Structures are given as structure tokens and as C-alpha cells.
Structure 1
Amino acid sequence: MKPTAQVRTETIGACLLITIDRPAARNAVNAAVATGLAAALDELEAAPDLRIGVLAGTQGVFSAGMDLKAALAGESPEVPGRGFGGLTQAETTKPLIAAVEGWAMGGGFELALGCDLIVAAADAKFGLPEVKRGLIAAGGGVIRLPKRIPHHLAMELLLSGEPISGERAARLGIANRVVPAGDAVAAALQWAQRLAENAPLALAAVKKVVRAADGAPESDAFAAQARELAGLMASADVREGMTAFAEHRTPVWQGK
């Protein structure tokens, strides 16, 4: 995938800040944004020194979702094999944190749900208004939201299409942390640097096992976990982690 002007990346320590940069369209997702996000994820995956990704929008808006005008003109906001925005079905090995300021509507909300963690500004707005346009939240909303929060609460958001605040999103368990307006990106980056102190192979293994266990029989989930654990136990990083603990020092991860 090639980067596009609508998506910017910036390396900050061990973190890649990925910013949707279409402020005039409230960071709505068109084909260029989808391609740009897919390229940014490729950049994150390919760089051994990058451990965590943070996804954000510009000028106080996360994303208004699918660009309806572009869609009517025949543009696709999806990337084959990677889903809406090149992200919602992408199987990344490195953790992603959504830093949500302002509106995260429709596909914007689904981009956040496609991340592993969510930091929300207190006045952020999360909503899945697709039913108001004759559609459903097909970028992961109708599939993921009922798995993240109780059934009736998920159905409230999916059937009403009405938005909720960042504070309510946290109470429902959608957002991990709520911060004052304007602080979401800084808070997400700070959290990312803390997560990056952990072993990269272990972070990737957590994500892989969680995916494998989703909807699988318990025996299959434990089998998948055993395979990942065997790989970890044979890694240099496990030896380094145990040695560093015994020597009362910070481990130096090699990612192998």
C-alpha cells in the first residue's frame, strides 16, 4: 500500500501516530483515506522499533465515518482483505489505541472498535447512525459492539442511531479512559509508551490468542494458546525477561 496525503504518520518514541487529515470533510473515510490507513498499518508492522500505533483525527474530530458523497460517486471506503478504512478487518500484530476527540460516527466509531484500546475525550461523541440512512453498521459495528457491551445496550445504539458521550462510552465499557477535551492524543501517546515497555512478542501473542479464541470452543482456544506459548518460551525475549527480573533491571527486548 502507498501512503496518501489524507493520512499522516509520525514516529514518537516507540509509537506511530496515525492521523486522518481531512478536516474539511470531518475526517470522513474515502478511498484515499482507506488506502492511507492501510499503508500506515503496513509502516507500523514493518518497523521493528515501532511497538504501538495511535489512531487520531485532526481539528477536534476523530472521523465522521464513510464519505457518503465519495461513495455515491463510486469510491469504495474499503480495502480488500482489510475492511472499512483499511483497518476494521486488518489483523495487526501490534496494539492500536484510538484517540477519540469530537465525533466518531458510523465508520469512525467502527475504526475505534477496530483498535485494541480507546482513549476518549469527555465530550467525544460515539454513534452508529447507519439505520437513519437505510443501512447497518457493516464495518464491524453490528458484529463487535454486542461482544463488547451487554446485548440490550448494544442494541440501543444500533437501533436508535443516537450518539453517546465519551463519558457514557466509558461507563458502558466502550472506552478505556476518559480525559479532558483536547487531551486524548497526548494521553494515548503516553499510554502507548508505557505499553511499549512490554515484550513485543508477548504483545503480539496476546492479540493472536484473543483473535483465535473469539467464538472458538474452549479446547481450540487453549490449543491456539499453547502454540503461541511454545513460541514465546523458545524466544530470547523470555530469557531476557526472566534474567532482567532476577537482576532487578529493565529488560532489553530484541523481538526474537
Structure 2
Amino acid sequence: MKNNVVVFDLDGTLLDCDNHIIGGTETLALLQKLQANNYRLAICTGRLDHDIVAINNLYDLNINERISQNGAVFYQGDHLEATLLDKHSALALNQLLKNYPNVRVEMNTISNRYWHSDRDPDFPKEFYDSSIITQQDYGDIIPFQPVVLFLIVGQMEDLKAIQKEIIGRYENVDAIMTSATSLEVVPQGISKGKALERMYPEACVYAIGDSESDTSMAQYAKQFYYAGEGFDDGMKVNTITEALEDIVKKAGI
């Protein structure tokens, strides 16, 4: 029997802007059909793991394999693996970012987000609130916590300057623009695609996404379905429902 896995993103792929399942009961029925035919399901997202758990429980998806923080953290059952920023780099980055007072800096550990102030109400909300709002310097926290990444929010001009400085100074971290107003500083080599490579080296993987961060999965999937714009290395679909229908049809189930 083939080791088949269907991996999909959350926001914009499985969930719409109101956090409802795109395709509704039809999508859920297709996921259940795949599971009934021994296809494993996995969610791969930029969110923290607890948000995957929340959606899994809300819609009774019965998914035990989860990739979070854009590939830096993943669970298979009760087994956890995470790629962290090394302590020296994290402390140095924290000091560097103090030179940019006009940006917001958040720090992610495996399970929590550390903030110095509340988020803007228009900022995407977590499904499970793990935020820790503190006036304590992140430098006092880093030695005691598993730091995964820094999220920097601000104007494009500031973010580009930070990105250039970090790339020029550090060999073991990446600075990735995740939107026009956000920059993520992560351990080098982290991506959703690399997470698939590590989790499913022998599996037949079908991957579904809608944004630039999802496109790294194309290299490691038998078939990559893309519901976004501006990427040609995959099968263009309108929704996750359309992708799941294609998988089911080709499998003859």
C-alpha cells in the first residue's frame, strides 16, 4: 500500500477570511473520504501549532501531523521537532532590532508569542491566544526559552533596511519578507518544503497552498496544487475543494 499524504495550508487554503472551511461540507467530505482510504492528512501553516489544534478540534478533522511556523516546528503524533535560533544569534538580533524604534518586534517560541504591547485590532488574530505581553527585555527571556523566530512589523523601507543588515551580518539566519508590512527572521534553511522533506522522505505527497510561502512545497510533492497567483510550477486550482476532487478522482476512490 502506498504511503500517501495530503498536506495543506490553513489561511486562504483551508480557511476563508472568516475562518470558515472553504468549500464547506464538500471539502470536509473529501477529507474524510481520503482518510477512509488510508491517506494521511497534515496541516502546514505559518501560525503556531496551537492554532492548528484549535481548527482541528473545531472541525473534527482528526489530524495528528502538523507543521507550524512555516516549517520550523512539526509534530507527528506525540513527537515534536523544532529548529531554533541559536542563543547567540537571537541575543544579537534582539540588540540589533533596538536600533529600529519605528517597527514592532514580536518573538516566537515553540508555544508562545512574546509582545511588548497589544496588537493592532486589524492584525490577524490567533485561534488560541498564547501571547505573553511583557515589558521585560527579550534579551532576559532568550536564555531560558526555545526561540524560533522574530516577527517584525513596520513600513517597507524600515523592513528592507533590517533585512539587508541581517543578511549582511549573519550566515545562519534568514530574513524573509512575508508581506508588505512584515519580516520574519528565522533559522537558515527553514521552509514548508524542507519540513515535508524531513517528515515524509518516503511518502507520496500531495500539497495544496495559496501563497508564496507555500510554493516551497512544490519541490517535495508528487503534485502541488496552487490556489494563488504568480506561480507556475504546479497545478492551478481555484480552491482546496478542486484540488481534493482531483486527488480523489485520480486515486479512483
Normalising to structure 1: TM-score of the pair? 0.30
Normalising to structure 2: TM-score of the pair? 0.31
Q: Which has the higher helix share?
A: 1
Q: Which has the higher strand share?
A: 2
Greater relative contact order structure (CA < 8 Å, 6+ sep): 2
